[in-house]
Amino acid sequence: MEYITIDTKRVPIEGEKNILSLIRKAGIDLPTFCYHSELSIYGACRMCVVEDDRGRIFASCSEQPRDGMVIHTNSKKIQSYRRLIIELLLSSHCRDCTTCQKNGSCSLQDLAYRVGVHAVRFLNNKKQIPLDMSSPSIVRDPNKCILCGDCVRTCDEIQGIGAIDFAFRGSETQVMPAFNRDLADTDCVGCGQCAVVCPTAAITVRTNVTEIWDAIGNPNIRVVVQVAPAVRVAVGDSFNIPKGENSFGKLVTALRIMGFDEVYDTSFGADLTVMEESKELAQRLEKNEKLPLFTSCCPGWVKYCENRYPDLTDNISTCRSPQGMLSPLIKDYFKDKDEAENKKTIVVSIMPCTAKKGEILRPDNFTDGMQDTDYVITTQEVIRMIKQVGIQFESLEAEAADMPFAVASGGGTIFGTTGGVTEAVLRRLAKDKSYQNLSNISYVGVRGEDSVKEASVMLGDREVKIAVVHGLADAGRLLDKVKAGEVEYDFVEVMACRRGCIMGGGQPPFAGARTKKKRMEGLYKADTMSNIRYPDENPVLLQMYETTIKGKEHKLFHRHMVEK
Amino acid sequence: MLEQSYYSKADEIISQHGRTQKALIPIIQDIQSCYRYLPAELLSYVAKQLGINEAKAYSVATFYENFSFEAKGKYVIRVCDGTACHVRKSTLILDKLYKELNLSKEKHTTEDMLFTLETVSCLGACGLAPVLTVNDEVHAAMTPEKVSALIAKLKEEEQ
């Protein structure tokens, strides 16, 4: 067995590609800014420098391990190198930590403390650069950028978009869109994955917390909130709740304490989506037109398709997303009551997603020319609100959501992870609603973390070919194959973010492999524990289809500009 | 939007180098030598043709000092301000040129689009310091007097 020695400890080399992985295996959390296991190795931040037995100093992320190497991770020389690197980074960095969005979760702040930088000897003479506030989802503050390039590589390698890149060079280097355009004028889809990897507040999620407190404080406004599936398995992250545990009940309690008037479950909207989307799939299969049918619940994906594959936009389902279906239904539900009480209802949705902030502004998602969802806040923003109030989240008693939009099937809940939409649609289309068939459907191959999953199921006497893809770069490669006629599908589920909404741009950051897995398991567990597994067995929904919704399906649940 | 002829010219240059990503730099170099600058619209166009992100192409074009998105004059004067030239008083040469051409640190090109004045960090001809180039022609051991004579000569050629 080949091995290397890390600070006197023998560590076997088991296929690790770089020394950094071995150091972390040895139980030492070497600091890094620019190293992410899912991205290419860039070696820019130099925080992972180590020294070998010959006194040579190099970055451990970009060095291959060789048998017999002796590595020191914490020599005197290394310590002073790291301190100087941080000091230099801070020398041109905005230092208003106390008022920064990222205060408390900033890697630069954390590492400055860890390596022991308590004063910066250098004057900051960098010119102040204006913020880019053009996007409804993302805020860019170049003054806080440390040029690690994580956002650039995520946008390009994982999402295949490349909206931003480095420009100029040396001390003038900045990360920006081409020609320093506003982010809103680029191909950016607002997925927020750049904000997830950004170690500082150079890229942050645009926040709407103030507007929501204003609404809650106004007695003439009924503030209704809906909570997306993926939020419940991540919100506990910040309150010492085990990773991936379903905290929906606690969140409902917290939202009531905060002053929201009604709390609903977006999974109900997901059930609606399943009903509408399966109807659409069945119709298209029958007519054999506009296939494959692409899912439409992910706004990042919809925008990506419009930008890059405009000729395929007709294939996108005309269904709105679960949020987009539930909000107009809520407003419709309160219409008479609002008039009687002389109140105004506004809908807030808590989403794992930053692109949803853009989705609600799209006119094709409006009903009667009015915006349905008034504000979207992310999981991270609701965590901040909970902390603002001082709610002891972990010790809250769980409560149930409000009727009627509280009853949802397990099929609606698993929307939050890749493959979930497909599985729910298959459950809807299945004739056999037995328990046995549920597990058959879960094994067709739509679950799991593989970037592209293929499955084939029989619906009646027709074989339906399915693909499930997550991460836009992989989606783009799949679409190229579809266009070239190399592959043929009837139904394609796309989620812009890898692993689906559980890893959306609005979720709590620093989720490692274990957390990602736990979040996924958390949603499947919520499904298994659900009394209703098949979306079309949701009694509330079925009753509504017979009464309040009847005849309004198209108006409330479909995008309108698409239907010409 | 540029005139159609610009795009046809870009197509021609692209076909000479091949539609590959690694051809980006030679292609934009040729475009620049054709128009004496790199029109921003053409950079975007070339990026699209080669399948490169626009932001990446912009990254490349801004990394190299040589590429310019602004139209340059007929004569591009590059004054070397590397160490050797600097100690041999290249600053005086530069000041003289600013004065003669009525240019400044912010204004690089004359109104009549005849002259563009730039500084470079080293031309690699330290033995000839202080040195400057006019387009591809090297002028060695410059003095403020020689600069005046040079500009007068170039202006005369134009008339």
Name the pLDDT band for A260 (thresholds 50, 70, 90): very high
- Given this model, what pLDDT does residue A125 score? 82
- Given this model, what pLDDT does residue A564 score? 40
What pairs with residue A452 in β-bridges? A469
DSSP string of B50-114?
HT--HHHHHHHHHHSTT--SS---SEEEEEE-SHHHHHTTHHHHHHHHHHHHT--SS--B-TTS-
In the predicted structure, residue A560 carries a pLDDT above the cut 80: no
Q: Report how far residue A479's alpha carbon sits from residue A490's, in angstroms, rounded to the nearest whole number.
A: 13
Q: What percent of chain A has pLDDT over 70?
A: 99
pLDDT digits (tens, 9 = 90+) for A497-535: 999 999 999 999 888 888 999 999 999 998 888 888 888
Question: Among residues A292, A323, A289, which one has the least CA distance to residue A305?
Answer: A292
Q: For A181, which DSSP code?
A: -
In the predicted structure, residue B101 carries a pLDDT above the cut 60: yes
Strands A452-459 and B132-134: unpaired
Smallest CA–CA separation between B44 and chain A, in Å? 9
Mean pLDDT of B65-93: 91
Q: Report how far residue A429's alpha carbon sits from residue A448's, in angstroms, rounded to the nearest whole number.
A: 22
Mean pLDDT of A335-353: 94
Residues from chain B contacting residue A179 (CB–CB below 8 Å) = 40, 58
- Given this model, what pLDDT does residue A358 score? 95
Q: Chains A and B: how many Cβ contacts under 8 Å?
A: 38
Calculated CA dihedral for residues B18, B19, B21, B23, nearest 10 degrees: 30
Residues from chain A contacting residue B39 (CB–CB below 8 Å) = none
- Given this model, what pLDDT does residue A198 score? 94
Q: Report how far residue A485's alpha carbon sits from residue A79's, in angstroms, rounded to the nearest whole number.
A: 56
pLDDT digits (tens, 9 = 90+) for A152-193: 999 999 999 999 999 999 888 999 999 999 999 999 999 999
Secondary structure element (H or E) that encloses residue A514, with its range: helix A513-528
List, as ranges, residues 57-76 from B with C-beta within 8 Å of A.
57-59, 62-63
8 A C-beta contact, residue A354 and residue A205: yes
Q: Which residue of A has its CA nearest to B44?
A: A178
B34 is in an annotated binding site: no
| φ/ψ (deg, to 5) at A406 | -110, -25
Of A165, A167, A169, the CB nearest to B53: A165
Residues from chain A contacting residue B57 (CB–CB below 8 Å) = 178
Q: How many residues does chain B have?
A: 159
pLDDT digits (tens, 9 = 90+) for A427-443: 888 888 788 888 888 88
Q: Report how far residue A359's alpha carbon sits from residue A353's, in angstroms, rounded to the nearest whole number.
A: 10
8 A C-beta contact, residue A36 and residue A20: no
Q: Report how far residue B152's alpha carbon sits from residue B159's, in angstroms, rounded to the nearest whole number.
A: 11
* Contact residues for A257 (Cβ-Cβ < 8 A; gap 6+): A389, A391
8 A C-beta contact, residue B90 and residue B52: no
Q: Report how far residue A31's alpha carbon sits from residue A82's, in angstroms, rounded to the nearest whole number.
A: 9
Q: Report how far residue A536's alpha carbon sits from residue A559's, in angstroms, rounded to the nearest whole number.
A: 22
pLDDT digits (tens, 9 = 90+) for A400-410: 999 999 988 88
pLDDT digits (tens, 9 = 90+) for A469-499: 999 999 999 999 999 999 999 999 999 999 9
Q: In the structure encoding, which two tokens stand for residue B8, read together?
A: 């046809």
Calculated CA dihedral for residues A544, A550, A556, A559, nearest 10 degrees: 120
The answer to whether the CB atoms of B59 and A167 lie below 8 A apart is yes
Mean pLDDT of A105-125: 90
* Contact residues for B22 (Cβ-Cβ < 8 A; gap 6+): none
Instruction: Report chain A's mean pLDDT, rounded to a whole number.
Output: 91
8 A C-beta contact, residue A382 and residue A231: yes
Residues from chain A contacting residue B40 (CB–CB below 8 Å) = 179
pLDDT digits (tens, 9 = 90+) for A265-315: 999 999 999 999 999 999 998 888 888 999 999 999 999 999 999 999 999
* Contact residues for A68 (Cβ-Cβ < 8 A; gap 6+): A2, A3, A4, A5
Question: Among residues A440, A229, A448, A261, which one has the least CA distance to residue A353?
Answer: A229
Mean pLDDT of A67-89: 93
Question: Among residues A20, A11, A102, which one has the least CA distance to residue A63?
Answer: A20
In the predicted structure, residue A563 carries a pLDDT above the cut 50: no
Smallest CA–CA separation between B7 and chain A, in Å? 19
Of B40, B44, B56, the CB nearest to A165: B56
Question: Among residues A486, A499, A239, which one has the least CA distance to residue A384?
Answer: A239
* Contact residues for A516 (Cβ-Cβ < 8 A; gap 6+): A449, A499, A502, A503
Of A156, A169, A178, the CB nearest to B63: A169
Long-range own/partner contacts, residues B8-15 (CB < 8 A, 24 or more apart): B9/B34, B10/B42, B10/B45, B10/B46, B10/B49, B11/B49, B14/B46, B14/B49, B14/B50
Packing angle, helices A539-546 and A266-287, rounded to 10: 60
Smallest CA–CA separation between B100 and chain A, in Å? 30
The answer to whether the CB atoms of B55 and A163 lie below 8 A apart is yes
The answer to whether the CB atoms of B59 and A161 lie below 8 A apart is no
8 A C-beta contact, residue A352 and residue A230: yes
Mean pLDDT of B50-57: 94
What pairs with residue A226 in β-bridges? A264, A349
The answer to whether the CB atoms of B56 and A161 lie below 8 A apart is no
pLDDT digits (tens, 9 = 90+) for B103-115: 998 888 999 899 9
* Contact residues for A256 (Cβ-Cβ < 8 A; gap 6+): A263, A399
Secondary structure element (H or E) that encloses residue A339, with its range: helix A335-341
Mean pLDDT of A216-222: 95
- Domain B75-158 top-level CATH class: alpha beta
- Residue ranges covered by each domain of chain B: 4-63, 75-158
ipTM score of the complex? 0.87
Mean pLDDT of A322-345: 93
Q: Which domains does chain A have, with CATH numbers?
A: 3-74 (3.10.20.740), 124-205 (3.30.70.20), 210-557 (3.40.950.10)
Q: Report how far residue A523's alpha carbon sits from residue A506's, in angstroms, rounded to the nearest whole number.
A: 17
In the predicted structure, residue A548 carries a pLDDT above the cut 90: no
Q: Within A217-321, where are the H helices?
A: 248-258, 266-287, 299-308
Q: Report how far residue A536's alpha carbon sits from residue A271's, in angstroms, rounded to the nearest whole number.
A: 8
In the predicted structure, residue B4 carries a pLDDT above the cut 60: yes
pLDDT digits (tens, 9 = 90+) for A356-410: 999 999 999 999 889 999 999 999 999 999 999 999 999 999 999 999 999 888 8
Secondary structure element (H or E) that encloses residue B139, with its range: strand B137-139
- Given this model, what pLDDT does residue A77 score? 93
Helices and strands in chain B: count of H runs, count of E runs? 7, 4
- Given this model, what pLDDT does residue A438 score? 80
Smallest CA–CA separation between B68 and chain A, in Å? 12
Q: In the structure encoding, which two tokens stand for residue A469, read together?
A: 């893809």
Mean pLDDT of A448-456: 89
Mean pLDDT of A197-221: 95
In the predicted structure, residue A146 carries a pLDDT above the cut 50: yes
8 A C-beta contact, residue A60 and residue A74: no
Name the pLDDT band for A561 (thresholds 50, 70, 90): low
Residues from chain A contacting residue B56 (CB–CB below 8 Å) = 156, 162, 165
Instruction: Give how far Cα B135 sits from Cα of B39, B73, B132, B154, Å.
Output: 19, 10, 10, 12
